[in-house]
Structure 1
Amino acid sequence: MTPVPAGAPLVEVDGLHISFGDVRAVDGLSFSLQPGAALGVVGESGSGKSASAYALLGLHRGTGARVSGTIRVAGIDVNAASDAELRSLRGGLAAMVFQDPLSSLDPYYTIGDQIAEVYRVHKGGSRRAARARAITVLDRVGIPDAARKSRSRPHEFSGGMRQRALIAMALACEPRLLIADEPTTALDVTVQAQILDLLHDLRRDEGLGLLLVTHDVGVAAESVDEVLVMRAGREVERGPVGPVLASPQEPYTKALLSAVPRLSPTPSGSTGDAAEPGAAGDTGNRASGRPRSAAVPSPRTVPGSGGAGTRPAAGEDVVIEAVGLGKSFGRGRAAFAAVDGVSLQVRRGETLGIVGESGSGKTTLGRMLVGLLEPSAGHVTRSGDVQMVFQDPVSSLNPRRSIGESVADPLRAAGERDDTRIRARVAELLARVGLDPDRYDGYPHEFSGGQRQRVGIARALAAEPKLIVCDEPVSALDVTTQAQVTALLAELQRELGLALVFVAHDLAVVRQVSDRVAVMRRGRIVEEGEVDVVYGAPKDPYTRQLLAAVPSLDPALAAVRRAARREEAHVAAA
């Protein structure tokens, strides 16, 4: 293959158009990327950012999509390339890291064998050499004891480790370009920070060009030199990441940034980044405008489970109380305590945020509060019906049943048999969450992610609960849809006096919606209190670690934090 001439762009896209049937996904997009540079492509779902990234590797070929315009990657004209040239490009000169590592890795083969196979396809050589290369790249991406771990299968890795394995696979053939499509969407903030630090180090050490596709503006700020904002298949704004995020020129970019949840308040009209967590003056959590319910007085801090807690005064309306909750899985030596001695209370009209990394026990706790899991120890007292809104509305809605019938399930379970009354009530609920009542007979696949989550909320409301437990309800949504769903929950809370338990790994979202917050680690609550106090002056080192890992919209602050994490890693390894 012809090498890229000195000074020539690594990627050059001119007048790119991509259509799927009558839908134009990308409409006249042009951009370039120099060797060693990093470009972030940011936009909401449906903006065309992933479709554009796939086109760089010719992944639309054979799918029925219509692609026109010029795409050159590492000196190759992608649209004119033969199938053999495209196979050499993919994984050889350019490699892609996808959003979901579980669906990208074969569950039946070891991680090392899968990486070695990629190496042999592109580089040839012996199995021994390919195996050695697999171990080398696994070590390079920070997987400990790489030789032993290379013999593991994907299900034996955590989410962050699987994403590292995908990056290692991408590095196997020393590509010039790395395309990362939402590489941190499902990861905890600390693991996300590790992956972003890794991508930054790879650029610095290997001279890789990076194209980062993300709906998370904070992730882009942490990782790229320039940012390209897309909407409806077109470029809205492009430029150096610092100026674009600090002083956006286009209304859409301003709206996108205003929807990003922050750890501390932002002055009215500003889209700049918030102060560092725990800094002086970091008080107040409702930069997005979430009002505290007038029915909820300011909590008082008293000793609680695992740290400072809040307990309602006598006579206040406690909706749910958990005392000494524990949940273990397995038996004997294999027993694992997912939740260990947690006590908490939630009042009418109040939101308790529960944060922690994967494995902290927060989802198990939420399921015990609702009654989906029986505790191994302790007990839960509920003063009324409790419902749950799940993380993934696709898997929680039956694809073979209309959304109207799904919303009607609690009504039928309560004994309602009159179809006319059921349809009328469901229509009210759909309208209440901002959906068209006439879409009763629509099926889940006909709705967007945000609309499906609204269906889940409508279904929860059907039982007229006093408390709704929301388990990662916005983790898969882009920032503007996140803002719409959290605003809906706040509105319902104000009007209906609902209590909410908001379980999430996104600390910025939790601050936006919560009155109090409980931080979980290894099944216990390590810190609990008013959200302003916990975020403004965290007492537990783990809480401080979580807050320091939240992406910053200020690239300069992101660089300072990255250097601090690197120094901490060196000290820990010494």
Structure 2
Amino acid sequence: MTTPLVQVEDLTVDFGSVRAVDGLSFTLEAGAALGVVGESGSGKSASASALLGLHRGTGARVNGTVRVAGTDVGAADEAGLRALRGAEAAMVFQDPLSSLDPYYTVGGQIAEVYRVHHRVSRRAARARAVEVLDRVGIPDAARRARSRPHEFSGGMRQRALIAMALVCEPRLIVADEPTTALDVTVQAQILDLLHELRRETGTALLLVTHDVGVAAESVDDILVMRHGRAVERGPVAEVLGAPREPYTRELLASVPRVDAKRAPRLPGPRTTGDEGVPLLETAGLRREFGRGAGRVTAVDEVSLTLHAGETLGIVGESGSGKTTLGRMLVRLLDPTAGHLRYRGKEIGSLPEKGLAPFRRELQMVFQDPVASLNPRRTVGESVADPIRAAGETDERRIRGRVGELLERVGLDAGLHERYPHEFSGGQRQRIGIARALAAEPKLIVCDEPVSALDVTTQAQVTALLAELQRELGIGLVFIAHDLAVVRQVSDRVAVMRHGRIVEQGPVDEVYGSPRDPYTRQLLAAVPALDPALAATRRAIRRELAAA
């Protein structure tokens, strides 16, 4: 009987008084693939880091037994860990920008990893770096190896991290949320790459993800975690097709489905007296950046409408112009050309002073609530800003209103004095929504508001937005690269590519019978919860790439 490549027995990881991993045990055979799924805070990443001894020196307390490729990780000295990392086991992290040194070329960094484990010349190491960059699909690898990380797109940086992990031909790759920040087509490319590398090299894969669909596309077995413990483990088709545990069923029920029609909604209250006048309307909207030969058109001739109480989804890949369009809709960016009308009034060409009457009614919820909340101010003070801007000076009334808003988005009014770092990602996003609501808006543009959240928190935030819209009659523009989430929340959808809208219409029509080839390409890249369907789609993508 062969010894498993990875053996974890009764693993516990404590950060101060918080137990992140609680008695976890599992094995992983050589060449196999295991997906570790669960909500944020379930202990997934803490468990994965323990496989390479990454908690050492951090203050975390690690107990139990972890063996990887014959190395007892807990008992190994620093030399033993260095020999393990890279050569036998390698890690691919979620954020390639924080994992790659901005001052050095990508190829140079990969070559340095190779030289740590092999006594070769710099020239030979550079040649090996070019070889693995070419293997992971970096075009013109010899030239791009001399580029620095900021010169790569997000998907290319993630490929570079995978190349760095592969350079020493490890027996195990640990991938921690490797596709979270990527749009669906690039995500599909990375998942296909990992699958092909496993098939060709026999490398084992431990994939950490909160996206159950990503796991279904990529692994043989699934381990479901909650509160640091293993809830359920089994073959991916069995766990996803017939989950035994209530928590697994709850997790799967929260996953948005690209093939599920949206349930009909009751109409919300009307917020405009002119029933025939759209809440928001654009015609030929355009935005350019730069001048002369360096001029770039980010949004090109976009025309759309939004009515009160309606949700318009905007989807497309990174760089398609979605965020630029969203910022123009609330006049955080000035249009270069075209018309922008709010409740029938032209606001696209108004100077800043002329926008004052509309600022409260046009609000935006941003993708990263950490960046949009001042870390030095309490959340109560941040939520109160729009109330004070409206002229309210009575502190007792301001505090009462802030408490009402926090409760309205599902938080305790008593959290007024806490700071952003004391909240989870989902809670911070709720705070961002509360701040937008403080202005009593008629229109909210949500820019990737759930992209960094796990599926259950996503479901909570999208349900909150739907409830607020139903009660207040707010018009919503929902920008996202996740097509399944957009289908779940939207009445109509617009598909963007290279700054233009290539297709728009009722969400069920666009998803059910897409006319544009690009829309069909996006939908084909969405992860499928059925492993058999995922394999079929992967084969189709492989054939298209070879054609």
Contact 1:177 1:210 in 2 (8 A): yes
Aligned partner of 1:294 in structure 2 is: 267
2:268 and 2:472 in contact (8 A); partners too:
no
Partner residue in 1 for 2:128: 133
For 1:285 and 1:506, the matched residues in 2 are separated by 15
Q: Report the equivalent of 1:211.
A: 206
Output aligned runs, 1:328-339, within 5 Å.
Answer: 328-339=288-299
Displacement, 1:317? 4.7
Say which SS state the counterpart of residue 118 (structure 1) adopts: helix
Q: Which amino acid aligns with 1:451?
A: Q
Corresponding residue for 1:364? 324
User: 1:408·1:462 contact (CA, 8 Å) conserved in 2?
Assistant: yes
Q: How many residues align?
A: 529
Inter-partner Cα distance in structure 1 for 2:409 and 2:3: 52
Stretches of structure 1 that go unaligned for 5 or more consecutive residues are 1-5, 266-283, 298-311
Compared CA separation, residues 296 and 224, structure 1 to 2 (3 A): farther
Task: Compute the TM-score of the two structures, normalised by the length of structure 2.
Answer: 0.95
Amino acid at match of 1:294: P
Q: Which moved more, 1:6-15 or 1:186-195?
A: 6-15
Distance 1:461 1:103 in 2: 34
- Provide the C-alpha distance between the structure 1 equivalents of 2:382 and 2:413, rounded to a whole number of angstroms: 14
Pick aligned residue for 1:562 from 532, 535, 538: 538
Q: What are the equivalent positions in structure 2 for 1:253-272 lying under 5 Å apart?
A: 253-265=248-260
Corresponding residue of 2:84 = 89
On the 8 A contact 1:16/1:68 being kept in 2, the answer is yes
Q: CA deviation at 1:345?
A: 1.0
| Structure 1 residue 315, shift from structure 2 partner | 3.4
Q: CA deviation at 1:255?
A: 0.2
Asked whether the 8 Å contact 1:293–1:349 carries over to 2, the reply is no
Matches within 5 A, 1:368-387: 368-383=328-343, 385-387=361-363
- Give the corresponding residue for 1:223: 218
Moved more, 189-198 or 372-381: 372-381
CA contact (8 A) 2:268 2:469 kept: no
The match for 1:100 is 95
Call closer, same or farther: CA 1:18–1:473 in 2, change over 3 Å.
Answer: same
Is 1:420 matched up with 2:396? yes
Q: What CA distance in whole angstroms lies between the structure 2 residues aligned with 1:97 and 1:293?
A: 45
User: Does the 8 Å CA contact 2:269/2:471 hold for their aligned counterparts?
Assistant: no
C-alpha contact 1:517 1:530 (8 A) present in aligned 2: yes
Secondary structure (helix, strand or coil) at the match of 2:147 reads coil
Contact 2:268/2:471 (<8 A) preserved: no
Evaluate the alpha carbon distance shift between residue 567 and residue 296 of structure 1 in structure 2; reply closer, same or farther with a 3 A threshold.
farther
Q: Answer yes or no: is the 8 Å Cα contact 1:471–1:503 preserved in 2.
A: yes
* 2:407 equivalent to 1:436: no
**Matches for 1:487-526 after TM superposition, within 5 Å:** 487-526=463-502
Partner Cα distance (1:550, 1:559) in 2: 13
Within 2, Cα distance between the matches of 1:53 and 1:496? 44
Distance 1:560 1:476 in 2: 28
| Residue correspondence of structure 1 range 18-29 to structure 2 within 5 A | 18-29=13-24
Matches within 5 A, 1:94-173: 94-173=89-168
Amino acid at match of 2:444: I
SS at match of 2:417: coil
**CA distance in 2: counterparts of 1:8 and 1:151, whole angstroms:** 41
Counterparts of 1:79 and 1:98, CA distance in 2: 21
1:285 deviation in Å?
A: 2.5
Cα drift, residue 296 of structure 1 = 9.2
Q: Distance in 1 between matches of 2:329 and 2:289?
A: 17
Regions of 4+ moved over 6 Å: none
For residues 269-297 of structure 1, the C-alpha deviation after alignment (integer angstroms, 9 at most, x for no partner) is xxxxxxxxxxxxxxx234xxxx5242499
Letter in 2 for 1:358: S
Q: Which residue of 2 aligns with 1:60?
A: 55
Q: How far 1:48 sits from its partner (Å)?
A: 0.4
**Letter aligned with residue 357 of structure 1:** E
C-alpha separation in 2, matches of 1:150 and 1:51: 32
Distance of aligned partners of 1:317 and 1:426 in 2 relative to their CA distance in 1, 3 Å threshold: farther
TM-score in terms of structure 1 length: 0.91
User: SS in structure 2 opposite 1:468?
Assistant: strand
**Which residue among 466, 486, 502 is the counterpart of 2:462?**
486
